[in-house]
Structure 1
Amino acid sequence: MRFGPAFAIFCLAAALPAAGDPRREQDYAEQIQRQLAAGRAVWLQAESRTFLGLYSDAEKTDNRDAAIVLHDMGGHPDQGPVVRGLRSSLPQHGWAVLAIQMPVRETGAGLDEYFALFDEAAARIDAAVAYLQQGGAKRIAVVGYGVGAAMALYRLSGKPDGVMAFAAISLPVADYPLPQGQSLEQIKRIGLPFLDVYAEFDLPAVLGSAWQRRMAGKDNPVYRQIRVDGEGHAYLQEHNLLLKRIYAWLAVTANEK
């Protein structure tokens, strides 16, 4: 008996681990709240799961502009230096910030094991958008890092509701047959202002797909790709340059809206 591609995809879907690691999220939340130096902890809910967010008001503005910040694979909403840097720098430039805990797998899990969490991640982004709108935000951007960027791309490609711009930092592209892993096709469906930033010495899944991402975004007149020279995926050398790229682009994009 022969089976077609649809059956193979069904088998892959059935084999995907269905849940994240709530204990790991709880450990992160407890650690962050013990040492939180800026902003305040808020608790959001999506799909009957409560998760941590770190919210900071914009300085000298009314919080009409707000950014949702998403961490990389296995990280948390105060992950340094990228996420923590965004949390501290964006409020200084007129943006309220809500960094949220994305679903995580156990330590050592790879990208392929994260795709099963993308629908839950999309629901968390929905909850973050609703939270900011209830607080008076009128223009909301999403800034995702690594797998957080891939999770945001998945949500925004099918449901851009409530979001006016998307900045992806070190967006990985995987060769994966399920919808959650079809990043290049998702890029083609994005009509939002889209900043695609990557490092000169980034991970292979990011660096090797830069040209493919650029081609996938070619029909979007507000897609822009930038390479940060001298940096690796963690942006340890001069992460302030990355932060400047993000908030400068957000300022221009907001002014055009």
Structure 2
Amino acid sequence: MDDVRPGREHVLHLLAEPGEVRGQDGRCDQVFGHGFRLLLMTGLPALGAQDRALYPNRCAFSAPRRPTGPEEESPMISMLLFLLAFLCIPGGASATDADREARWAEQVQETLVVGQAVWLEAGGRKVFAVLTPAESAPPHGGVVLVHGMGEHPDWNDVIHPLRLGLAERGWTTLSVQMPVLAADASPTDYAPLIPESDPRLVAAVNDLRARKLDPVILVAHSLGTNMAIACLAQHPRLPLDGLVLIGTPRLQGKPPLDPLPLLARLTLPILDLYGSRDFDFVRGTAAARRKAVHRGGNRHYRQVQIEGADHYFRGLEDELVTTVDAWLERVRRDKGRR
């Protein structure tokens, strides 16, 4: 049975996307949300270093101390998480949260050390992105980076390591702000919003083409993969040379939440990457994704599982970058032979 229903792990992940809790300066909504996601996923971990690394000294939020002793695995934790999962389900929405996008842009620009802020014209509006030039000349090509649900173009998990790591290996990266909703929104709420991602991705690809970069490849993570698949199915002539899907979720509902019907329509080279410790709705649907692509006749598809990796590749960032870079180089070589 191909369809896998999201379980508690999925619900907790959704609830734990960045929250609107702010520090004394009115910002810092990412710091709380990201730490809360770790709290939900693992029980009561230490929340300090990773979540404060991107925005140091910004927020008055202090992480709870991890209890010790026999109470550490208290069933009260499970009950609390269960209640949170059903008390925090939001209503639907159909337009991006422009204020939240503006906050992300401000925060990222203030902390950006490598790379530069750029603004793309997409769908009649200015869209924030981060351009990171390749460290080698000439560049090997261009990469459009697409983050997951409720995140920003320099998100600490997956996107930031790829943005810098691929640039170090010779690829110019353009990481684009995708449409976002309130912090407690679910993928179901994002479904009507996904078409808003189309003009952003088209603008990003065209921007890299205008910079004379070739090949141009799109690399997407989590719900960003659903956005990317939907866009490419809608724009089959988009001048793109490859697609990297990292942690592709198959959620209940019609496309693009269930990406299989659209995935079967794609003919460009695809790398389908996921971790052995990924969520069930990613790992458990890997075979279904592979079958869908093969039914569509795409012979340029490769699926790779990274042993020990979770949905965010924490602790395996170098292996993530190395795996993606190796595949990008393969696409580059194959195109050079044509």
TM-score (norm 2): 0.69
1:75 is aligned to: 151
List per-residue Cα deviations over 1:10-38 (Å, max 9, x = no partner).
xxxxx962201111111111111111011
Using the TM superposition, give the Cα deviation of residue 92 of structure 1 relative to its aligned residue in structure 2, in angstroms.
1.8
Greater strand fraction, Structure 1 or Structure 2:
1
2:248 is aligned to: 171
**Larger Cα-atom Rg:** 2
The CA distance in 1 between the partners of 2:277 and 2:202, in whole Å, is 33
User: After the TM superposition, which of the residue ranges 204-213 and 164-173 deviates more from structure 2?
Assistant: 204-213
Q: Is the 8 A contact 1:65 1:96 kept in 2?
A: yes
List per-residue Cα deviations over 1:65-114 (Å, max 9, x = no partner).
10000111111000013100111111122211000100011001111111
Q: Secondary structure at the match of 1:181?
A: coil
List per-residue Cα deviations over 1:187-216 (Å, max 9, x = no partner).
111111000001111122212211100111
The CA distance in 2 between the partners of 1:136 and 1:164, in whole Å, is 14
List per-residue Cα deviations over 1:206-240 (Å, max 9, x = no partner).
12211100111123111010111112111112121
The CA distance in 1 between the partners of 2:196 and 2:154, in whole Å, is 20
Q: Runs ≥4 in structure 1, deviation > 6 angstroms?
A: none
The CA distance in 2 between the partners of 1:247 and 1:82, in whole Å, is 13
The CA distance in 1 between the partners of 2:93 and 2:120, in whole Å, is 24
- What is the root-mean-square deviation of aligned Cα atoms in Å? 1.4
Tell whether 2:200 aligns with 1:128.
Answer: no
The CA distance in 2 between the partners of 1:188 and 1:224, in whole Å, is 14
Q: Is the 8 A contact 1:64 1:136 kept in 2?
A: no
List per-residue Cα deviations over 1:136-193 (Å, max 9, x = no partner).
123110000001111001111231311110000001112212x433410111111110
Using the TM superposition, give the Cα deviation of residue 64 of structure 1 relative to its aligned residue in structure 2, in angstroms.
6.0
TM-score (norm 1): 0.90
Q: 1:51 aligns with which of 122, 127, 147?
A: 127
Q: 1:162 aligns with which of 239, 242, 245?
A: 239
Q: Is the 8 A contact 1:63 1:136 kept in 2?
A: no
The CA distance in 2 between the partners of 1:211 and 1:134, in whole Å, is 37
Matches within 5 A, 1:1-257: 17-63=93-139, 65-160=141-236, 161-177=238-254, 179-218=255-294, 219-257=297-335
Q: Which amino acid aligns with 1:228?
A: I
Q: Which amino acid aligns with 1:113?
A: D
Q: Which amino acid aligns with 1:155?
A: C
Q: Is the 8 A contact 1:71 1:83 kept in 2?
A: yes
Q: Which amino acid aligns with 2:214?
A: K
The CA distance in 2 between the partners of 1:126 and 1:16, in whole Å, is 26
Q: Which amino acid aligns with 1:220?
A: N
Aligned length: 242
Q: Which amino acid aligns with 2:317?
A: H
The CA distance in 2 between the partners of 1:119 and 1:156, in whole Å, is 11
Q: Secondary structure at the match of 2:153?
A: coil
1:11 is aligned to: none
The CA distance in 2 between the partners of 1:214 and 1:233, in whole Å, is 19
Q: Secondary structure at the match of 2:309?
A: strand
5+ long unaligned stretches in structure 2: 1-90
Q: Which amino acid aligns with 1:221?
A: R
Q: Which amino acid aligns with 1:162?
A: P
